[in-house]
Structure 1
Amino acid sequence: MHKALKMATKSCVPHKFRTENSDEEVNQEVPSNASNYLGATSIQKQPTFRNSRQAPDPTWKSPRNSAVLSTPLPTLDASKEYNWQAGMTNIREKNAVMLQNPLMADVHFTVGCGKNKQHIPAHRYVLATGSSVFYAMFYGGLADQNDEVCLPDVEPIAFHNLLKYLYCDEIQLSADNVIPTLYVAKKYIVPHLARACVQFLETSLSARNACMLLCQGRLFEEQELMQQCWEVIDAQAEESLASDGFVDIDFSTMESVLLRETLNAKEVSVFNAVCKWAEAECRRRDMEPSMENKRSVLGEAFYLIRIPSMSLDDFANGPAQSGMLTAQETTNIFLYFTANNKPELPFKRKGRSGLMPFKCHRFQSSAYRSNQWRYRGRCDSIQFAVDRRVFIAGFGFYGSSNGAMQYQVKVELKKEGTLLGQAITSFFSDGSSNTFPVLFDNPIQIEPDVFYTASAVLDGPELSYFGQEGMSEMQCGKVTFQFQCSSDSTNGTGVQGGQIPEIIFYC
């Protein structure tokens, strides 16, 4: 594949490649350093949900045939072994012997370019039965009988993966090869392999790589992958915009992020991310990252930043001193914040709406009694699992049953003992049986079918409301929650009653 497709490159940039047996140049925006952002998937013990869709098993074997070759079949010189077929029990084993074997090969591919170039033998019949593109190439009305095909735009590892699937019905993906494999699966219209690549990317999705995968989803026109990327970017906008992946996206994807109404981020964070992107884009174009050049690469997209929606402090300590604004722009924005007669500004003024959180309330009633609920530094804890990816914003708590009071609280979210998020803060209780939110600094992504532990240590008036008639499973919007008792709970909270009545989340 073109050198820009190699995983070591740092940006998504357009390039040109030549099609098979043709001098026609085709513009193609190619993937970037995906392996820097994709994490390994793991198999977790899954809770059982009633009436809910189970998440796909992320083992990345071929869903069409769960049995894969556990060890590679031995190579052989079939030209000297006239009865090599006798020891094979099925067609898949026989095809595996022919994989990249010159015996009976009637087409040869030169894949990649430069030092990465490889020569690979193949068999027209096998390729044509697995791909309509290969069928048209070899047996269609305009079929070319040339047995040499040059593919400079395809990574050798991706072509190996394609052949392994076509010959052996086997799919082996990793962070290093999934995007070039998706490219070649799309190029030769092998939808099942393409779908497996997309599923791999979806299970690897996080705030760290969501912007980069959005870029690839747009490139390959994968609507479902794009939707899941937007869910992560919206809910974890602060982290997504601050990630290394954001600076590597193309201009069109960056502009689509700026147009997004539902980003859960401060506008000053959007401004800072765009400045970093502009600096990186200047370097990609071999330009000095001056203010003029950064404004030049951003063009009119710069005005999509909603600077007038910032607080005065955020503007004064950020954009006003960044060097990205002209002196006149800075003056006009200060006047917009402070003057009665406000100047016209080219920036969008209305703040982003963000996402509305959901609240899963796990108790059917609440109560208080003279001898409950006491804290004294003890831990209230509950375990929960969901049937789809969500983002935990925080938890709701009951407050004092003896009038308005202030509570100090430390909340934690853990997965199998590993701390994912923590907040140490306070909340004010007005003496009612309402719940009071305590939020993390940034929402925390949790995966389906895995139990997580929510814990809290409260310090304040000992007597408070507490939940009763708790439910072990409940539906909240499109999400099914399942609850179970936690061994970390030392203050009496469990499934049936206690504290932590609400899970606050985005989805």
Structure 2
Amino acid sequence: MTSHYSTDWTQPNRKRTPIQPRPDAKQTQSGPREDAKQTSKGNPNHEGTGAQVMPSDQECLPLKEALLRMLDKAISYDVIFRVGERSVEVRCHSFMLLARSPQMQAMLESPRTDRDKDGRACVPVPEVDVEIIRSFLRYLYTDEVDITPDNVMPLLYLARKYLIQTLTSKCQQFIIDAHLMEPENAVEIYHQAYIFDLKDLMVDSMKIINQSTRQCLESEPFLLLPRECVRNIIADDHHQVSEETIYRNVMTWCEEECKRKGLPESDEVFRELLGDILYEIRFPNIDVRFFSSTIEKRNILTADEKQELKTLSVLKGVNRDFYKGKFKCRPRKTWQRVMRMPEGDRHIDEMIMLDQDEHVITFKTSVDCLMHGIVTYGLSQSESEIHIFVELRDENGETVANEDISVLTEPDIKLYDVRFQKAVDIKAGHRYQIIMKLDELNWLWKGLSGRHLVTVRDGFQVEFEGGDGDENTNMLEGQIPGLLLS
């Protein structure tokens, strides 16, 4: 999957991946072969003739292909989908829709459903294009579908809209298997999820953007986003970059938006394009020197706003809490190390870690937060890359994160931050278990003097306990010295 591609599913000229027929699929014809015409004279059921009757192609079709022939040739259709902005007709059969979807059954049996003069149900689907509907219907008729990076999102949308759980599962598995939920694709996935109102996928992709914010904001898909998506992304609390970086990338988006719309690239136009996005940039947290040298010299902010921000920049702590203006003051929730093992050489020793040995700790937090990864020890005797497997389970034993991570280590550096691909929601008071193992035997540093309770800040504490893994990792010593939380 490329990191950008068209998301306008209603345009007939959009480049699409063609659906290939199965190699073993039989080619059907429109009717009986000329050499297989039957008459009552040639029917073996009639006495007095020895003629052999040749069956028609239609009679020889397996059920799946017979149903597909009904769909492709619109034989005795009684439902019409009006697809895309041009309301292109795609014809199908109510018996199949009723059999596959309770949502469609309710729709087709409703007296409010529009019908043509011949009584056929007419269903408008303006949000997708003809090829998407045909792929969707093909799945309903045959249980077969060709899922691609181009069609997975609209197919997932239709599957959820019409409650086709099997297709929903196939689309979700494709997203996982095709590695679409990776940083280079996260912004594009967020955009498509926004178009099709797939809120859970918007949340998931945002958590990946949180983890790789700079990479995502500097990607080409970010420059192609509509204003609403830019606002949603910039408003999020958990981005792991400076406010200056966010400001620069928003300005770059403005430049590209001006080019798309044929507008002059002036500060006044930028301000109009931004609208309330402007107030999602946390100007009070921007470095004073950057503000003075870059932002203050431009006319994106009014003179009064600049003065207001200059006043805010000298206020700290509680004074900002009473600010009631338009700008957001609170810093974003960047992750920080929460260490159960004290740092420093006197709290570190060596241990041999066998391949596939599971080192386990459990923890719970006093507040809801995001977990971005773990802190791990490096190799103690060589400079090399190690492969770490990390699994996070909730208190019901369900896996909520499963990562295979490579870390390049050197003996002089003891601790390494290992970030998950996607941040994980941690619920206050719930117990979680971290399981870590290596793919081969190695000598690693290990921690000593482990702590049971760590205070992050007022009201935010993390409680650690040992797990049921290798005995060398427990509450007092061993691996997994800390967490990355925000």
1:122 and 2:92 are equivalent in the alignment: yes
Alignment of 1:131-150 (within 5 A): 131=101, 135=105, 140-141=110-111, 144=115, 145=118
Contact 1:383–1:486 (CA<8 Å) still a contact in 2?
Answer: yes
Partner of 2:155 in structure 1? 181
Partner of 1:457 in structure 2? 410
Partner of 2:72 in structure 1? 100
The 1-side partners of 2:267 and 2:384 are apart by 43
Contact 2:387–2:404 (CA<8 Å) still a contact in 1?
Answer: no
1:171 and 2:145 are equivalent in the alignment: yes
Deviation at 1:110, TM superposition (A): 6.9
Deviation at 1:135, TM superposition (A): 4.7
Residue-pair matches, total:
382
Which residue among 337, 344, 353 is the counterpart of 2:333? 353
Partner of 2:48 in structure 1? none
Counterpart amino acid of residue 256 in structure 2: A
The 2-side partners of 1:410 and 1:327 are apart by 55
Which residue among 467, 481, 487 is the counterpart of 2:435? 481
1:76 and 2:62 are equivalent in the alignment: no
Please state whether the residue corresponding to 1:452 is helix, strand or coil. Answer: strand
Contact 1:106–1:147 (CA<8 Å) still a contact in 2?
Answer: yes
Partner of 1:251 in structure 2? 227
Query: CA 1:104/1:303 → structure 2, altered by over 3 Å: closer, same or farther?
Result: closer
Alignment of 1:377-392 (within 5 A): 391-392=372-373
Partner of 1:287 in structure 2? 263
Contact 2:354–2:438 (CA<8 Å) still a contact in 1?
Answer: no
The 2-side partners of 1:151 and 1:173 are apart by 20
Query: CA 1:504/1:118 → structure 2, altered by over 3 Å: closer, same or farther?
Result: same
The 1-side partners of 2:102 and 2:231 are apart by 36
Deviation at 1:382, TM superposition (A): 7.5
Contact 1:396–1:504 (CA<8 Å) still a contact in 2?
Answer: no
Contact 1:111–1:151 (CA<8 Å) still a contact in 2?
Answer: yes
Partner of 2:452 in structure 1? none
The 2-side partners of 1:162 and 1:385 are apart by 44
Partner of 2:6 in structure 1? 8
Please state whether the residue corresponding to 1:483 is helix, strand or coil. Answer: strand
Contact 1:398–1:500 (CA<8 Å) still a contact in 2?
Answer: no
The 1-side partners of 2:90 and 2:308 are apart by 64
Counterpart amino acid of residue 123 in structure 1: H
Query: CA 1:119/1:74 → structure 2, altered by over 3 Å: closer, same or farther?
Result: farther
Deviations 1:4-28 (A, max 9, x none): xx95368x9xxxx9xxxxxxxxxxx
Counterpart amino acid of residue 437 in structure 2: F
Alignment of 1:163-312 (within 5 A): 163-185=137-159, 190=164, 192-194=166-168, 196-198=170-172, 200-201=174-175, 204-312=180-288
TM norm structure 2: 0.60
1:161 and 2:135 are equivalent in the alignment: yes
Contact 1:385–1:452 (CA<8 Å) still a contact in 2?
Answer: no
The 1-side partners of 2:371 and 2:94 are apart by 46
The 2-side partners of 1:326 and 1:336 are apart by 15
The 1-side partners of 2:95 and 2:5 are apart by 32
Please state whether the residue corresponding to 1:454 is helix, strand or coil. Answer: strand
Contact 2:154–2:196 (CA<8 Å) still a contact in 1?
Answer: no
Counterpart amino acid of residue 101 in structure 1: K
The 2-side partners of 1:241 and 1:336 are apart by 27
The 1-side partners of 2:67 and 2:247 are apart by 55
Contact 1:214–1:229 (CA<8 Å) still a contact in 2?
Answer: yes
Deviation at 1:299, TM superposition (A): 1.8
The 2-side partners of 1:344 and 1:242 are apart by 32
Counterpart amino acid of residue 99 in structure 2: T
Contact 1:392–1:503 (CA<8 Å) still a contact in 2?
Answer: no
What runs of 5+ residues in structure 1 fail to find an aligned partner? 1-5, 18-29, 36-68, 375-379, 400-408, 417-446, 466-474
Partner of 1:315 in structure 2? 291
Query: CA 1:359/1:478 → structure 2, altered by over 3 Å: closer, same or farther?
Result: farther
Partner of 1:395 in structure 2? 376
Q: Which has the larger radius of gyration?
A: 2
Partner of 2:453 in structure 1? none
Query: CA 1:9/1:121 → structure 2, altered by over 3 Å: closer, same or farther?
Result: closer
Q: Between the two proteins, what is the percent identity of the paired residues?
A: 19
Deviation at 1:296, TM superposition (A): 0.8
The 2-side partners of 1:293 and 1:83 are apart by 69
Deviation at 1:288, TM superposition (A): 1.9
Please state whether the residue corresponding to 1:208 is helix, strand or coil. Answer: helix
